[in-house]
Structure 1
Amino acid sequence: MRSIGEMARDSGLSVSALRFYDGAGLLVPAWVDPVSGYRWYGTEQLDESRLLARLRRAGMPLADIRLVLAGWSGADTDLVRQLLHAHLRRLEQGLADARSEFSTLRALLELRENPMTVLPTAAVGLAVSAPELAAALDAVRFAVSTDPELPMLGGVLFDIEGEALQVVATDRYRMAVAQAGVAGHDGPRVQAVVPSPLADAMRALLSDDAPVQLTVDGDRVALETGDRQVAGQRLDHDFPDYRRLVRLPAGRRASIDVPAFRKAVETGPVRAGESPDQGGVSCDVSVLRVAADGVVTVCEDVDDDQGHVAVNREFLLHALAAGARDQLILEFGAPTAPLAIRRTDTEDAFSLLMPVRLEN
């Protein structure tokens, strides 16, 4: 007999997935301890569990999987072949439909392009608070994308408007926004996407409280303090409209003690989830629930209430570290809405984590 942990390890299914499939009647344990409720599986069930894992990765509906497993155990190869072929045809048709839709979308994008809309080329120079800019870069750096297919996200956005410099980074699955005060700019809004190596060089320059001068001149961005300077070309790409992306409906807010909460996340239960930034492979997921009294817990089971959200555990730990505070605020919306991680002293510095789809 195999324990549920051994079955999970050898089959590629998570423990929570095995519990789900037991409840769904797809893969029922050979024996359940009547006292502890612990599940045990027969050796012959390993092949079925591996087959089930493959079918789920291929996106086959549970109803069809039930028939495939029945045909597999009964050696009804004709039924199994027909079901596999039918699912493959659905996938191919879905891909063909998606290609058609994307072709139409590309045509619409070409119509929307306006070659006359360019960022200002006039030189802009302004004074920036070195500690504030250093803190802003530290708060967003973790969210910069490394995906070569999305070069516009491979840097940090400097968004200058009025007396504020918004610093923004996103890799689609997380976003971080911070702000630094500026002086000497009274012109139109200016944006520049600073490549991550240049942003890191700028951060290294901000080691003291000396005055800092930020210059955007055409495609060149420079940061100067005293007799030291770092400069380079900004990315020749438009950054997404982050202001639109952060318009979230109000959610439930809960204050957390960061050191204690970090420990709870690091040592608490994890679920298996699909990490889209890694091609859909499994990642460790923390399921967070906020109770009516505002207490946030890391839980294993998910019920039908609206007080939970599942997020990539590694991303959550990065966001907590980037918050650089012993007290932060977590804002929960619906389970499908981003989790907002906010500072207690300002609304201008926050992170967003997209929810992760849990494996069944």
Structure 2
Amino acid sequence: MRSIGEMARDGGLGVSALRFYDRAGVLVPAWVDPVSGYRWYEPAQLEEARLLARLRRAGMPLADIRLVLASWSGTDSDLVRKLLDAHLRRLEQGLSDARSEFSALRALIDRQENVMTSLRTATARLTVAAPELAAALDTVRFAAGTDPELPMLGGVLFDIEDENLHLVATDRYRMAVARAGATGHDGGRVQVVVPAPLTDAMRALSDGEGPVRFSLDGDRVSLEAGDRQTAGRCLDHDFPDYRRLLPQAADHRVLVEVAEFREALETGPVRADETGAHDLSLLRVEDGTVTPCPDGDAGDPHLVAVNREFLLDALTAGARDRLVLEFTAPTAPIVIRRPDEESGFSMLMPVRLED
């Protein structure tokens, strides 16, 4: 007999996935300890687990996976072949449809780029209090992207308008926004994406108490603090319109003591995501409280799954003893705010639980 841990290691499925497929009646353990509830599997079930892992990676629907496993040990493999062929046809048709849509999208992008006027000739001069800029950079830096395929997300957006400087960073799975007061800019709205290494240099330069001066000349940005300066080129990419991603009014607002909540997350139960690369925390939001819980069903309206590391990063960036967590639905972003500040916040995309 194999323990659930051994089956997960040798079969290519996470422990949480094995528990899910047990509840779904797809891969049921041969024996469950009536006292501890621990699952044990027969040696012959290892082949089924490996088959299930392959079907899962291929994106086969759960109903078809159940039929494949039910027919796998039979002498007639006709049903299995038909199910595999049907799924392959669906994948091929889906890929063909996606290629057509992307071709149309690229054509639209090309037309849009041809009529847009370049913004790389913009100039701006503004002064910001060093502590404000440092605090704003600390709030958003953790959310900057690192994917080389998406270079436009590999920095921090400096959005300058009137006496407001908004800093924004996102890697698609999380987004952070912060505001700092600014003076000296009397032109229209200007946006520039400062690459992450230059952003870090600007943060190091903002460690004093006096003002710092931010300048933009075309594709070059600089920051001066007294007789010190750091400068470089901005990213030659447009940042997504973050204003369209701003959170709506939340259904639930929970004030948490950060130290206690952090400890609950770090010592509490976790669940692996579909890739097995990240730990998820399952948060139960009910009666004005949020609590990590060991397990739950995908259809539970009070249960939200989130990347634990991302949530811990957001708590650190919040830099307060207390923070407000806002929840709307298991599929809606989680918003983390400071109780005394509405203009700065971070958002985390929830992780979809398997049905």
The residue that corresponds to 1:58 in the other structure is 58
The residue that corresponds to 2:49 in the other structure is 49
Percent identical residues: 72
1:285 aligns with 2:280: yes
Instruction: Measure how far apart 1:355 and its partner are.
Output: 1.1
> How far apart in 2 are the matches of 1:216 and 1:52?
55
- 1:296 alignment partner, one of 286, 290, 298: 290
Instruction: Measure how far apart 1:114 and its partner are.
Output: 5.4
Number of residue-to-residue matches in the alignment: 354
- 2:341 alignment partner, one of 333, 340, 346: 346
Corresponding residue SS for 1:192: strand
The residue that corresponds to 2:202 in the other structure is 202
Which runs of 5 or more residues in structure 2 are unaligned? none
1:16 aligns with 2:16: yes
1:271–1:358 contact (8 Å) kept in structure 2: no
TM-score (norm 1): 0.93
Alignment of 1:69-108 (within 5 A): 69-108=69-108
Q: Which amino acid aligns with 1:299?
A: C
> How far apart in 2 are the matches of 1:359 and 1:8?
17
Instruction: Measure how far apart 1:200 and its partner are.
Output: 0.8
Q: 1:281 to 1:98 in 2, by over 3 A?
A: farther
TM-score (norm 2): 0.94
> How far apart in 1 are the matches of 2:124 and 2:28?
67
> How far apart in 1 are the matches of 2:276 and 2:172?
16
Corresponding residue SS for 2:50: helix
1:358 aligns with 2:353: yes
Corresponding residue SS for 2:238: coil
Instruction: Measure how far apart 1:23 and its partner are.
Output: 2.4
Instruction: Measure how far apart 1:335 and its partner are.
Output: 0.7
The residue that corresponds to 1:130 in the other structure is 130
> How far apart in 1 are the matches of 2:16 and 2:304?
16
> How far apart in 1 are the matches of 2:277 and 2:125?
46
Which runs of 5 or more residues in structure 1 are unaligned? 275-279
User: Which deviates more, 159-168 or 37-46?
Assistant: 37-46
1:273–1:357 contact (8 Å) kept in structure 2: no
Q: Which amino acid aligns with 2:295?
A: D
1:211 aligns with 2:211: yes
Instruction: Measure how far apart 1:281 and its partner are.
Output: 5.8
The residue that corresponds to 1:277 in the other structure is none
1:307–1:332 contact (8 Å) kept in structure 2: no
2:122–2:190 contact (8 Å) kept in structure 1: no
Instruction: Measure how far apart 1:75 and its partner are.
Output: 4.0
Q: 1:248 to 1:298 in 2, by over 3 A?
A: same
